[in-house]
């Protein structure tokens, strides 16, 4: 009998993995999936949920969100929280692209205002914002400047002329985690980060010009400043080679640490250390520094997007009201306080391929959004819709204030290249009115919409279970891919 046969349906779109399926489990598992997604879910991802539930200090549930799929150690679309008193920290619960995240920029433009300039805009954005594997940014940092980027994040970018001071108010953590320490980041990670700052990257990262297609909640959309027909821009990018190297460095550290601390692991990819250990604290400080790098990276791209719109449309970014709606992190572990049985409990919440979805009243979100909950940005795949939702009290109670981060892959990149022809995809996108610029034909095949889960279904499950509620749907007009 497989583990799947023991999983019980708790309510519509919520399944429970009983803590009895493995005698080493210290908590049960929760899966937020509809029946079709549950049936299609690979056993490996379920095994990973069980393995996480065996880790020391795991609190309540190991969680699989609607976009769950097999990953390194933790599944992508996975969330787990560990008690600071007796729990652990695991780089596998964050992933290689630390603070891969999404930013949404609004405008006061309508689609008709840019229709005849769309080709120019996407060509200029493709030129002005470097993308692709190993792509280099437009600026050359001095060697000592990388430490300031790692320690101060988006604050550094704004202070150096990349954006507006008010931008910081609507970024998760205001674009900087203060506990970051660049001294804990290796020279190799810094060397990889120096040339790549201000670049989009490759894979599922993208920059899109979009239009707000539907509004589901007028009140919340009004608070977020979104209107039907409004042109918006979405950035999906992360910490580039810097974050990847930080993860690689500390996986080696943790591979020794879990043995030294005599932690019993079901999977070596879950290599970890106790929260209060030197290894865990060093990793957290380095990971926060990489997260700061990612916020600075997206901040610089925001600046160049504004400049591009100014150049092509002949108006100032201020006149076009190119304000940031919000910026969310996907791959991160954070020290947070959550309620449990009426008491505050300090946890290290690992979100891997998961978006924070803090509900109304949370002091961690911008004051202007506090009454309705934070904006949740769930990007689609190339050519499909993306969504804006809002955080909820249900998420706070059930998922440590978390929801899905995107569509989630169902095909490997190599399989996608076998199954899809770039020319056919481009023709389909063109038929749907979507313009595309990509560094290579292979990228177009690798990122084919059919290589991913249906984002509409992922969002529908988030909405129906209440872990994030729908606010708006945005559809692409033009996309640049690395």
Question: Shortest CA distance to 98 belongs to which of 254, 284, 296, 332?
Answer: 332
The annotation status of 66 as a binding-site residue, yes or no, is no
Q: Which residues contact 7 (CB under 8 A, 6 or more apart)?
A: 15, 16, 17, 18, 31, 38, 46
Residues 6+ apart with CB under 8 A from 421: 445
Q: Is 206 annotated as a binding residue?
A: yes
> Could you tell me which of 230, 233, 228, 229 has the C-alpha nearest to residue 209?
233
Is 97 marked within a binding site? yes
* Residue 360, annotated as binding a ligand: no
234 is in an annotated binding site: no
Any known ligand binding at 28? no
Residue 159 Cα distances to 155, 162, 164, 259, angstroms: 6, 7, 9, 44
Q: Is 92 annotated as a binding residue?
A: no
- Could you confirm whether 405 is annotated as catalytic? yes
Residue 435 is assigned to a ligand binding site: no
Which residues, in sequence order, are CB contacts of 395 under 8 Å at separation 6+? 357, 358, 359, 401, 402, 403, 466, 467, 468
Identify whether the C-beta of residue 233 lies closer than 8 Å to the C-beta of residue 207.
Answer: yes
Residue 59 labelled as part of a binding site:
no
Is 407 annotated among the ligand-binding residues? yes
63 Cβ neighbours under 8 A, 6+ residues apart = 29, 30, 31, 32, 49, 78, 79, 80, 399, 400, 402
Question: Is 62 marked within a binding site?
Answer: no
Alpha carbon distance 292, 149 (integer Å): 7
Residue 350 assigned to a binding site: no
Whether residue 373 is annotated as binding a ligand: the answer is: no
CB atoms within 10 A of CB 252: 11
Instruction: Judge whether 69 is annotated as a binding position.
Output: no
Tokens (6 digits) for 194: 């120096």
Measured between alpha carbons, how far is 355 from 404 in angstroms, rounded to an integer? Answer: 6
Annotated binding-site residue? 236 = yes
Q: In 185-330, where do the E strands start and end? A: 206-215, 230-237, 273-274, 324-329
432: annotated binding-site residue? no
Across 331-345, b (16+ Cβ under 10 Å) vs e yields bbbbebebeeeeeeb
- Residue 430 annotated as part of some ligand binding site: no
Q: Known binder of ligand: residue 204?
A: yes
Q: Please provide the distance, in angstroms rounded to a whole number, between the alpha carbons at the two ends of the chain.
A: 44
Selected catalytic residue, list 244, 350, 390, 405: 405
174 in a known ligand binding site: no
Nearest by Cα to 175 from 348, 309, 347, 303? 303
Give the span between the Cα atoms of 330 and 12, in whole angstroms.
26
Q: Which residues form the catalytic set? A: 405
Binding-site residues for Mn(2+), please?
Answer: 97, 205, 236, 330
Binding-site residues, please?
Answer: 97, 204-208, 236, 330-331, 379-382, 386, 405-408, 481
Binding-site residues for GMP, please?
Answer: 204-208, 330-331, 379-382, 386, 405-408, 481
């Amino acid at each position: 009998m497989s583990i799947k046969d023991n999983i019980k349906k708790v309510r519509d779109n919520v399944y429970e993995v009983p803590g009895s399926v493995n005698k080493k489990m210290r908590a049960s598992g929760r899966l937020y999936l509809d029946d079709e997604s549950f049936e299609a879910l690979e056993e490996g991802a379920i095994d990973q949920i069980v393995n996480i539930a065996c880790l020391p200090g795991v609190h309540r549930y190991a969680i699989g969100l609607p976009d769950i799929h097999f990953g390194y150690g933790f599944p992508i679309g996975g969330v787990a929280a560990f008690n600071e008193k007796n729990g652990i920290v695991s780089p596998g619960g964050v992933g290689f692209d630390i603070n891969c995240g999404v930013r949404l920029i609004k405008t006061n433009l309508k689609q008709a205002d840019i229709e005849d300039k769309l080709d120019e805009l996407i060509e200029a954005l493709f030129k002005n914002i470097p993308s692709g594997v190993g792509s280099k940014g437009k600026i050359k940092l001095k060697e000592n400047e990388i430490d300031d980027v790692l320690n101060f994040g988006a604050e550094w970018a704004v202070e150096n002329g990349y954006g507006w001071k008010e931008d910081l108010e609507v970024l998760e953590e205001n674009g900087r985690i203060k506990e970051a320490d660049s001294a804990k980041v290796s020279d190799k990670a810094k060397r990889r980060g120096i040339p790549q700052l201000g670049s989009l990257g490759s894979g599922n990262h993208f920059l899109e010009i979009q239009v707000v297609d539907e509004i589901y909640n007028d009140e919340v959309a009004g608070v977020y400043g979104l209107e039907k027909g409004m042109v918006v821009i979405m950035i999906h990018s992360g910490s580039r080679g810097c974050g990847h190297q930080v993860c690689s460095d500390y996986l080696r550290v943790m591979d020794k640490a879990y043995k030294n601390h005599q932690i019993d692991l079901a999977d070596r990819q879950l290599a970890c250390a106790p929260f209060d250990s030197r290894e865990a604290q060093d990793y957290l400080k380095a990971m926060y520094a990489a997260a700061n790098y990612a916020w600075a990276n997206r901040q610089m791209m925001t600046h160049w997007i504004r400049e591009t719109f100014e150049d092509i449309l002949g108006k100032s970014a201020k006149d076009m009201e190119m304000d940031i709606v919000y910026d969310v992190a996907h791959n991160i572990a954070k020290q947070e306080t959550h309620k449990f049985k009426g008491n505050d409990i300090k946890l290290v919440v690992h979100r891997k391929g998961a978006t924070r979805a803090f509900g109304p009243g949370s002091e961690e979100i911008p004051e202007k959004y506090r009454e309705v909950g934070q904006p949740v940005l769930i990007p689609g795949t190339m050519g499909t819709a993306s969504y804006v939702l809002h955080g909820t009290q249900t998420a706070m109670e059930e998922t440590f204030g978390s929801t899905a981060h995107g569509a989630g892959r169902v095909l490997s990149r190599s399989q996608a290249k076998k199954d899809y022809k770039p020319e056919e995809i481009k023709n389909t996108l063109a038929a749907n009115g979507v313009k595309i610029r990509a560094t290579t034909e292979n990228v177009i095949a690798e990122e084919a919409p059919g290589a991913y889960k249906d984002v509409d279904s992922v969002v529908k499950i988030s909405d129906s279970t209440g872990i994030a509620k729908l606010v708006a749907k945005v559809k692409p007009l033009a996309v640049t891919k690395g």
